[in-house]
């Protein structure tokens, strides 16, 4: 489970339940706000293979990565801590997309995998895969229905809050997601209604020294819905209000003596979005969020919430992305307080992200990213500060091949004793596309 990572503006918006402005912008695609890395480059784009009215776009990426601290452990060897252990990781990432090429409506089917083999620590090997589809039905001018579904078999990164520090292997889990939405934008007033569903199923994890950690108490389902009303002030600016609600139900969070973690939540925000043709787009909002738990032993999470996102092209060669978002996420960890094993309720997380992309040459792209995450665990005293910074380069050889190289610094500063860590990661890969 990727609990914190450098993401695109769209991914951050989805995490916070943000709906991108429904305001339609007239003009050619060239007038849309697109970042340097996302910009169309016909000389270096995969040609694809036509299959009827669909385009088939296969890819495969192979690379090697060096991680100075694969177990995300605190530096220094002690009786209970092996210290920082480094390793080389060899990865291969095959995938494909099958995209419709229709004048109206849209449908896309995709699948990809991430297969990793560790040089000296084979117990950390993993084989992730993801398969899904999404689409859009153009009901009429200004009225659309969006839908999608995906199934993933993934692993949880070392250093994730709910991962046992004495786990002998990474925790695997399955995720099924589905969504459907309706949007209507014919005049100054726009309406968007969305529904989401997610089911998580965690595998048990072997422990160092023997035994198994039962993760069945983490299995859960989440239903969500949102209603967004927007008012177009002019062709560039829109104000909006958005109400979201969710229901989380665990299969059996009390299996190992834990509390009843089922909960209901809601969020209401008001804000404004803008889209200045070809130059910048973004939004800012503020409001209130609350998550109420069925168990009386879990304190409800309630606080002010806020968010903002910006994609800005100051020049034709440089793009700047920045965002901040706050959301409540699930956790099942405990903390001993005054001799009593106390369960955490949820995590109120705030993420600040800054990313700069630059086109050094038409086929040489540079990227720098900084992400800071503050995690406050409710009902217990724990708080985490997470920091990640990276530098990357992409060299486009031709329409079929590209080389990526990069460096990432990853660190956690936590109030939990002996669980801070730092990690340095170097990677290089060759990507092929057809």
pLDDT at position 104: 94
Q: Length of the chain, please?
A: 434
Residue 52 lies in a domain: yes
Residue 133 lies in a domain: no
Q: In what helix (H) or strand (E) does residue 242 lie, and over which residues does it extend?
A: strand 237-250
Q: What is the pTM of this model?
A: 0.88
Residue 119 lies in a domain: no
* Domain extent for 271: 9-64+139-150+159-433
Residue 109 lies in a domain: no
Among candidate residues 117, 120, 110, 103, the one with its CA nearest the CA of residue 53: 103
Residue 83 lies in a domain: no
Supply the CATH number for residue 209's domain.
2.40.160
Count of structural domains, the chain = 1
Task: Dump the DSSP string for 179-228.
Answer: EEEEEEESSSEEEEEEEEEEEEEEPPEEBTTS-EE--GGG-EEEEEEEEE
Residue 13 lies in a domain: yes
The 3-class SS string of 301-341 reads EEEEEEEEEEEEEEECCEEEEEEEEEEEEECCCEEEECCEE
Residue 217 lies in a domain: yes
Taking only the tens of pLDDT, the chain with its 434 residues reads 343 333 333 333 333 333 333 333 333 344 689 999 999 999 999 989 999 999 999 999 999 999 999 999 998 777 667 789 999 999 999 999 999 999 999 999 999 999 999 999 999 999 999 999 999 999 999 999 999 999 999 999 998 999 888 899 999 999 999 999 999 998 899 999 999 999 999 999 999 888 999 999 999 999 999 999 999 999 899 999 999 999 999 999 988 888 999 999 999 999 999 998 879 999 999 999 999 999 999 999 999 999 999 999 999 999 999 999 999 999 999 999 988 999 999 999 999 999 999 999 999 999 999 999 999 999 999 999 999 999 999 999 999 999 999 999 999 999 998 899 999 999 999 999 99
**How far apart are alpha carbons 36 and 19 in whole angstroms?**
23
Residue 78 lies in a domain: no
């Amino acid at each position: 489970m990727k609990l914190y990572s450098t993401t695109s503006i769209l991914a951050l918006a989805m995490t916070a339940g943000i709906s991108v402005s429904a305001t339609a912008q007239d003009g050619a695609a060239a007038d849309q706000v697109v970042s340097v890395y996302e910009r169309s480059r016909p000389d270096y784009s995969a040609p694809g293979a036509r299959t009827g009215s669909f385009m088939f776009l296969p890819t495969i990426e192979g690379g090697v990565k060096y991680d100075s601290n694969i177990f995300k452990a605190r530096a220094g060897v002690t009786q209970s801590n092996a210290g920082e252990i480094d390793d080389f990781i060899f990865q291969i990432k095959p995938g494909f997309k099958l995209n419709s090429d229709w004048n109206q409506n849209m449908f896309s089917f995709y699948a990809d995998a991430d297969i990793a083999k560790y040089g000296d620590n084979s117990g950390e090997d993993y084989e992730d895969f993801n398969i899904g589809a999404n689409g859009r039905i153009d009901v009429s001018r200004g009225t659309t229905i969006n839908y999608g579904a995906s199934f993933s078999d993934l692993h949880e990164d070392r250093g994730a809050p709910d991962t046992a520090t004495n786990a002998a292997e990474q925790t695997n889990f399955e995720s099924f997601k589905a969504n459907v939405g309706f949007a209507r934008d014919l005049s100054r007033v726009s309406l968007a209604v969305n529904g989401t569903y997610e089911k998580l199923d965690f595998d048990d994890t072997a422990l160092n020294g023997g035994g198994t950690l039962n993760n069945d108490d983490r299995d859960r389902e989440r239903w969500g819905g949102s209603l967004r009303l927007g008012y177009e002030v002019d062709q560039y600016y829109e104000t909006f209000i958005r109400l979201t609600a969710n229901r989380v139900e665990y299969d059996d969070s009390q299996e190992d003596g834990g509390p009843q973690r089922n909960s209901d939540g809601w969020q209401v925000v008001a804000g404004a979005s803008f889209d200045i043709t070809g130059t910048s787009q973004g939004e800012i909002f503020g409001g209130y969020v609350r998550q109420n738990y069925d168990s009386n032993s879990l304190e409800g999470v309630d606080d002010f919430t806020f968010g903002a996102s910006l994609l800005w092209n100051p020049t034709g060669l440089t793009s700047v992305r920045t965002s901040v978002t706050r959301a409540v996420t699930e956790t099942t960890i405990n903390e001993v307080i005054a001799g009593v094993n106390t369960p955490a309720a949820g995590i109120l997380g705030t993420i600040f992200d800054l990313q700069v992309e630059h086109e050094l040459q038409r086929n040489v792209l540079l990227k720098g990213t900084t992400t800071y995450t503050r995690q406050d665990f409710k009902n217990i005293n724990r708080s985490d500060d997470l920091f990640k910074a990276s530098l990357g380069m992409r060299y486009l050889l031709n329409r079929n091949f590209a080389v990526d190289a990069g460096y990432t610094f990853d660190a956690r500063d936590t109030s939990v004793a002996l669980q801070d860590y730092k990690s340095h990661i170097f990677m290089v890969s060759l990507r092929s596309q057809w």
